[in-house]
Amino acid sequence: MHQSLVILGSQWGDEGKGKIVDLLTEKVDYVIRYQGGHNAGHTLVVDGVKTALHLIPSGILRSHVRCVIGNGVVLSPEALVKEIKMLEERGHSVVDRLHVSTNCPLIMRVHVALDQAREAARGEAKIGTTGRGIGPAYEDKVSRRGLRVADAMDPVRFAEKVRELMQYHNFILTHLYQTEAVDVEAMIEETLEAVSYFKTAVCDTVDLVHRSRRDGKIM
């Protein structure tokens, strides 16, 4: 196998990428996810056990594989923790083999609220979003107002940035969509609590990937 292998979906999803990746993981050292969010999903069957994943790369079921969530992924800390705990309950080591980019944009409660409010406002013209905040989180990234995993490493500064961000988002929710504002302090607390669960896995994944390639690792 070549040192690096890229699996791409050439249609609109559901091509079976996750299953193909899992078939190849016996021969690789790293499996890297580079984009998307927990709206995606792949169901794997290993040794007769079915596992559904939404954020963590397929390779996590192979004990020799290290999994990377790259900076193109919009990350819901709560969804990631839920997935980690599910795998841990099944006997898999996760955090010690997981690498989460410091630059992953965060999906927080407000992004879910915006996603659902926007979809409801469309009425019969709704587009069928999963309502998990993926689109609004990417919008924040592109507009340069979004927060990233690295921001949550400093709780005090993180709280300041969230409060500033929420002046904008709560205005949109209450004035444009005529819906309830998001509880800012509760959102800060729940996000920081979730990130703390996988804090040891957070790193500069770009540097990690380059170093691993130089060391001859297969990914």
Q: What is the C-alpha to C-alpha distance for residues 84 and 129, in angstroms, rounded to an integer?
A: 25
Where does residue 105 fall: left (phi above 0), alpha (psi -120 to 50 degrees), or beta otherwise? beta
Catalytic residues: 14, 42
Q: What is the C-alpha to C-alpha distance for residues 68 and 83, in angstroms, rounded to an integer?
A: 15
Q: What is the C-alpha to C-alpha distance for residues 109 and 95, in angstroms, rounded to an integer?
A: 23
Instruction: Kindly state the tokens that stand for 104.
Output: 């992953």
HSE at residue 196, side-chain half, CA atoms within 13 A, is 8
Give yes or no for a contact between 83 and 55, defined as CB atoms under 8 angstroms apart: yes
Nearest CA to 104 among 204, 7, 9, 194?
Answer: 204
